[in-house]
Structure 1
Amino acid sequence: MCGICCAVSFSVEHFSRDLKEDLLCNLKRRGPNSSKQLLRSSVNYQCLFSGHVLHLRGVLTAQPVEDERGNVFLWNGEVFSGIKVEAEENDTQIMFHYLCSCKNESDILSLFSKVQGPWSFVYYQASSHSLWFGRDFLGRRSLLWHFSDLGKSFWLSSVGTQACGVAHQWQEVPASGIFRIDLKSVSISQSVVLKLYPWKYNSGGDDIRECVNSLTEISAALPTFVFVSVNEAKLYLKEPVVPLNKALPQAAFETHCSSISRSPPTRETLRVFLTDGHTREVVQQFIGVLSVAVKRRVLCLPRDENLAPSEVLKTSNRKANVAVLFSGGIDSMVIAALADHHIPLDEPIDLLNVAFMTKENTVPVNFNKKGRKQKNHCEIPSEEFSKSAAAAAAAAASPRERFNVPDRVTGRAGLKELQAANPSRIWNFVEINVSLEELQRLRTTRISHLIQPLDTVLDDSIGCAVWFASRGAGWLVTQDGAQPYQSSAKVVLTGIGADEQLAGYSRHRVRFLAHGLEGLNKEIEMELGRISSRNLGRDDRVISDHGKEARFPFLDENVVSFLNSLPVWEKANLTLPRGIGEKLILRLAAVELGLTASALLPKRAMQFGSRIAKMEKNNEKASDKCGRLQIISLENLSVEN
């Protein structure tokens, strides 16, 4: 995972050879292991490339990478499949090698059509003065663009700036395909023309994905001197997932067992479905494809494989390489259970559980403030975790109910299930307790610009909750008590994508009741189509701010294709009550994996389970614009830090 940035100027006198300090700082937080900048100059333009690497696989490769012909590559991605990358190899080097051997546009499109895994990239092709860039089909990696006035310069970056008046000008690059800019022609025409190479499912049809029809919508959000058009040759990328199966049952759709809807759901209720041979086969196939997706995401990272046997046995001293955003709900429980199948047994797994309290605790607490030395103002001060720990300790001294939110209750129950399933594993249940004061302070100084350009109350709630959870600074709770803990895991697994594909939200049930299975199909299709702009860019920016990488098993291309291939009634049955009907196939998978009570937990949104929603205002709607996300000036930032 990396922080990547490319700044292009068509007016040399206005060009800065260095990134703005706050942007450079934000990029370094994403990629703490290596930083490098590279300048490319032409008669008509100049390009500044900046790369910041979080090292996770192969040999540490500083970015940007370049070759003798002047080509430059910035890569923020993971090749999990589609292109062969050996365990000791670095995918940045592999991708750049293939790119430099591409002879034409079709070769470049063919290459990116093969890659399975999350990515965003910038590629400067010197011979054609072309700048290629884009995000993967699902938009699992952030990429923003910013165009200056009068077209004198534009920026591409994983994350935006914090400067007041600038932050709102950053917009997410649509995950509609790959874009190309002819830099030489821009300098002559004084207008920026974005050529789009869209995603298309190769089914023999003439239509190029619906996103192409929204070119006017993309252009409407851009300055008047920026134009978007489909490439003249009508070339396209092949979609990596199959289209959604919208088939409807020939007979009237009824519940699998009519008595289920009239009785309280139990684990035996779910077992009734598994007595059907076809259903059980489908569930086993689902477990298989999801298990492979988890395996790819927990094994592609360095481990202490050269430790002596005596050191390996000291599992209590081992650090976790993988963490799970953990509520104890069905999504995170299945992810944790499958991760347990593939992560070495002597390696702990961190379960990150976040809770917010509504009133500030002012009980004074002495706490050891020893922490890492602050190298520069880009880092979070070491005393910041001290304040968090102090607030948590104060709450521990008072009734624990201060943080006894729904997700904390289900998280503890889920921990017991996992411990029962594999008592040999060290499960680090990390209680992350956030006070109102800390939320407000860090929203202002660190989180707001990460959530931007999204700006609703819902974005604020989820963005803040995910930021605190993925930071991993909290209390490790064991039978012997609680002690301060900082998760060292660089990989954070999250269950996003399950609700969108398996009718997990209440709006799915509303749509089904109003329009039946046809309406439900349309809702699921819409959910997956907008996940790049609604969720994934934001979550990538928020999690990566801690020098950690978000990985999304439910959004693995093979998982999405498998679920898309199924008729909707094999994934969900909304004639059944909550706790069974939504995400039915996932609940059945949980039973097959040996999980118990968690298989029956109804869907509960993170903002409500963690109790961050309504924490500051009770009369807000999720879709309202959130005034708390306003970016403050850099002068105020220096005071806060």
Structure 2
Amino acid sequence: MCGIHLSISTTGTQPPSHRLRELLCKRGPDHLGDVGAEVHIPYVAPLFLHFTSTVLALRGTPGEQRHGHDSITRQPFHDTGSGSILCWNGEAWRINQRPLVGDNDGQIIFTMLLKASTSSLSDYESKRAVLQVLKDISGPFAFVYFDKAHNVLYFGRDRLGRRSLLYNTDSSSQALELASIADPSRGLWKEVDADAIHMTSFAANQSQEGIASNIDCTTPQFTCPIGRELWDQAPGLGSFNRNITSGIQPLQLQSSSVAILRQHLVDSLRLRTLNVLVPPSLCMASRVRIAVLFSGGLDCTVLARLTHELLPLDQEIDLLNVAFENPRVVQAAKNARKPGQPQANTLDPFESCPDRQTGRRSFQELQDVCPTRFWRFVAVNVPFEELKLHKPEVIDLIRPHNTEMDLSIAYALYFAARGKGVSYVGPSHYESETYTTSARVLLSGLGADELFGGYTRHATAFERRGYSGLLDELELDINRLGKRNLGRDDRVISHWGREARFPFLDENLVKWAIEAPIWEKCGFMPGLKDVVDGTDFALDPSKKVLRLLAFKLGLDSVSKEKKRAIQFGARTAKMETGRTKGTSLIS
């Protein structure tokens, strides 16, 4: 995982500001590199390009680390022969369906891009070849690639938008900037759309193929029209299955989709959890490489349970559970206290949070089901005064998002990703009060609700309009996966030098879920009872296939957990009294 920045200017080299460089180094503390380039066009002032990359080293082989080899691959990638440059922020788990576990994906992609953009190819041939390389990548990424041989710049995000990339146009300095994170000191930053690969040709009077972009790269001396190649023109994620005319069957433990989901999740987790390097500064002090953003809910607990099956038993797994002191909730508890009730009996602001209670129950269940694994429950407690101290930082990180809901969700992810709290090795036995996880890879259950019908509005749609309404709502969620706020979440989590990985958003798993009939994913069938070993077993119909998988994995209580939004489970919503709505702009 990396931080990337590019500036294009007609007035000279424009490196990132001091503040932006600091933020980029937070994302990638292991290496900082810069490369410059110039483009000369007849009758036009030269263009100055400046590329910056920071690196967080995560991938490698155990042998490299054992033998003291430098596992950090430096960026930007620069081919001195052709002059081409790549800034890569991502994880290519597969290229054309070939897994890349243990390989350096950035170097492999750069080599493929160089071959695709060789000067022996025409401009058109090179463009098609470069686009095909990018379309063959499975995994989260954002990138900037400069093909010097043809003077073409490519940039973009993966089709699900799992990595951040922003842009800013500055007419005063006649510059265009692309960056993983906004520079809070200047400019009006916007997110690069995740529905396409964007490109521009630096050539005088060059017409650009593709659909006009919303990115204005126009300066008084030079115009570089930006075109884009839509992701859905590539072999994509399949076609949404709307079949409700035949073959409807109840979803049960023995249903084939339960086993298929398990295999897809195991395959996804294998790519995302094996061969993770031990953090360089803690090689001898800690074994923790993987942590889970852990509310104790269905999605994250199933991921933790399956990760146990993959990791060697000498690797510990941290469960990061965040809870906030919400003054509004605390005041309500004080108001509800009966006259004469002692102050000591008032509400514990952290342990009373819904996600803390769920988290402790699920932690206990994981210990019961997987007793050979060392699980560590990290209770991340955030007092209100500490939250206020970090508020300006969080607001800077979520730019250009600026609503109260953005902020409340970002608070939870920001402090959970920091991973600092009280560590427990048993339900009530703490290990340390000043523990900070060393894990640089954080697993998130995001995506399960959209794929398997986990939101309340899915149940409401079924109640009102049956399968047709449910399918409409699910298809809407699938189509806007790439427009979700994953860029915002990436900026907040990566600030701590950690990378979020989303096993449910693996392309192969998403494709299967999209193409599967509705009754293989959800349990919305009137009057149906679940029967396990002859006993009624009432499971919520939302995410039914995942609930059945949890039950098969021994997570009986977890399989019955209700969906709860992070801002309500951690109590970051409406931190202060008043009538502020989630859609209100940050005050």
- Do the structures match in fold with TM over 0.5? yes
Structure 2 matches for 1:196-595, cutoff 5 A?
196=210, 219=214, 229=227, 237-250=233-246, 256=250, 273-274=252-253, 277=254, 279=255, 281-303=256-278, 318-359=286-327, 400=348, 402-444=350-392, 446-479=393-426, 480-481=429-430, 482-575=432-525, 580-595=540-555
AA of the residue aligned to 1:459 = D
State the 1:534 CA deviation. 2.5
Q: Residue in 1 aligned with 2:54?
A: 52
Q: Residue in 2 aligned with 1:139?
A: 161
Please give the root-mean-square deviation of Cα atoms over the aligned residues, in Å. Answer: 3.1
Counterparts of 2:567 and 2:460, CA distance in 1? 20
State the 1:421 CA deviation. 1.1
AA of the residue aligned to 1:174 = D
Q: Residue in 1 aligned with 2:115?
A: 101
More deviation, 595-604/478-487: 478-487
Q: 1:425 is paired with a residue of what secondary structure? A: coil
AA of the residue aligned to 1:89 = D
State the 1:246 CA deviation. 1.6
Contact 1:8/1:153 (CA < 8 Å) preserved in 2? yes
Structure 2 matches for 1:171-190, cutoff 5 A?
171-185=190-204
Q: 1:11 is paired with a residue of what secondary structure? A: coil
Contact 2:102/2:275 (CA < 8 Å) preserved in 1? no
Q: 1:57 is paired with a residue of what secondary structure? A: coil
Counterparts of 1:487 and 1:179, CA distance in 2? 38
State the 1:239 CA deviation. 3.7
Contact 1:112/1:237 (CA < 8 Å) preserved in 2? no
Counterparts of 1:441 and 1:222, CA distance in 2? 37
Which of 13, 27, 36 pairs up with 1:30?
27
TM-score (norm 1): 0.77
Task: Specify whether residues 86 and 46 from structure 1 end up closer, same or farther in structure 2 by C-alpha distance, changes over 3 A only.
Answer: same
TM-score (norm 2): 0.84
> What stretches of structure 2 of length at least 5 have no aligned partner?
41-45, 61-70, 331-342, 528-537
Q: Residue in 2 aligned with 1:366?
A: none
State the 1:140 CA deviation. 0.8
AA of the residue aligned to 2:477 = E
AA of the residue aligned to 1:22 = R
Q: Residue in 2 aligned with 1:383?
A: none
More deviation, 546-555/111-120: 111-120
State the 1:361 CA deviation. 13
State the 1:509 CA deviation. 2.0
Q: Residue in 1 aligned with 2:581?
A: 621
More deviation, 47-56/505-514: 505-514
Identity %: 35
State the 1:195 CA deviation. 5.3
Counterparts of 1:579 and 1:618, CA distance in 2? 37
Q: Residue in 2 aligned with 1:64?
A: 76
Task: Specify whether residues 70 and 129 from structure 1 end up closer, same or farther in structure 2 by C-alpha distance, changes over 3 A only.
Answer: same
CA offsets, 1:499-535, max 9 Å, x none? 1111111122222233332222222222233233322
Contact 2:200/2:227 (CA < 8 Å) preserved in 1? no
Counterparts of 2:274 and 2:513, CA distance in 1? 24
Aligned residues: 533
Task: Specify whether residues 449 and 48 from structure 1 end up closer, same or farther in structure 2 by C-alpha distance, changes over 3 A only.
Answer: same
Task: Specify whether residues 101 and 409 from structure 1 end up closer, same or farther in structure 2 by C-alpha distance, changes over 3 A only.
Answer: same
More deviation, 242-251/483-492: 242-251
Task: Specify whether residues 451 and 219 from structure 1 end up closer, same or farther in structure 2 by C-alpha distance, changes over 3 A only.
Answer: same
2:103 is equivalent to residue 89 of structure 1: yes
State the 1:567 CA deviation. 1.1
AA of the residue aligned to 2:47 = Y
Task: Specify whether residues 339 and 352 from structure 1 end up closer, same or farther in structure 2 by C-alpha distance, changes over 3 A only.
Answer: same
Q: 1:336 is paired with a residue of what secondary structure? A: helix
Task: Specify whether residues 222 and 566 from structure 1 end up closer, same or farther in structure 2 by C-alpha distance, changes over 3 A only.
Answer: farther
Greater helix percent: which structure?
1
CA offsets, 1:340-377, max 9 Å, x none? 11111111101000001123999xxxxxxxxxxxxxxx
Task: Specify whether residues 626 and 522 from structure 1 end up closer, same or farther in structure 2 by C-alpha distance, changes over 3 A only.
Answer: same
Counterparts of 2:349 and 2:32, CA distance in 1? 44
AA of the residue aligned to 1:219 = N
Counterparts of 2:313 and 2:493, CA distance in 1? 26
Counterparts of 1:150 and 1:575, CA distance in 2? 60
State the 1:580 CA deviation. 1.0
Q: 2:182 is paired with a residue of what secondary structure? A: coil
AA of the residue aligned to 2:475 = E
Contact 2:196/2:228 (CA < 8 Å) preserved in 1? no
State the 1:183 CA deviation. 2.5
Counterparts of 2:184 and 2:415, CA distance in 1? 19
Contact 1:463/1:542 (CA < 8 Å) preserved in 2? yes
Counterparts of 1:124 and 1:396, CA distance in 2? 64
Counterparts of 1:220 and 1:599, CA distance in 2? 45
State the 1:461 CA deviation. 1.1
CA offsets, 1:367-420, max 9 Å, x none? xxxxxxxxxxxxxxxxxxxxxxxxxxxx99996454321100010000011101
Counterparts of 1:609 and 1:240, CA distance in 2? 35
Task: Specify whether residues 396 and 335 from structure 1 end up closer, same or farther in structure 2 by C-alpha distance, changes over 3 A only.
Answer: farther
State the 1:152 CA deviation. 1.9
AA of the residue aligned to 1:525 = E
Counterparts of 1:319 and 1:300, CA distance in 2? 13
Contact 1:428/1:476 (CA < 8 Å) preserved in 2? yes
State the 1:490 CA deviation. 0.5
Q: Residue in 2 aligned with 1:638?
A: none
Q: Residue in 2 aligned with 1:11?
A: 11
Task: Specify whether residues 146 and 220 from structure 1 end up closer, same or farther in structure 2 by C-alpha distance, changes over 3 A only.
Answer: closer
Contact 2:278/2:288 (CA < 8 Å) preserved in 1? no
Counterparts of 2:189 and 2:422, CA distance in 1? 36
Counterparts of 2:37 and 2:75, CA distance in 1? 14
Contact 1:85/1:91 (CA < 8 Å) preserved in 2? no
AA of the residue aligned to 1:565 = E
CA offsets, 1:121-148, max 9 Å, x none? 1100111111101111111111111112
Contact 2:380/2:420 (CA < 8 Å) preserved in 1? yes
CA offsets, 1:51-105, max 9 Å, x none? 0000111331111011111000110111111255665531111111111000411
State the 1:484 CA deviation. 1.3
Counterparts of 1:194 and 1:512, CA distance in 2? 45
State the 1:294 CA deviation. 1.0
> What stretches of structure 1 of length at least 5 have no aligned partner?
197-211, 257-271, 312-316, 363-394, 629-641
Contact 1:74/1:123 (CA < 8 Å) preserved in 2? yes
State the 1:477 CA deviation. 1.9
Q: 1:627 is paired with a residue of what secondary structure? A: coil
State the 1:557 CA deviation. 0.4
Counterparts of 2:278 and 2:289, CA distance in 1? 8
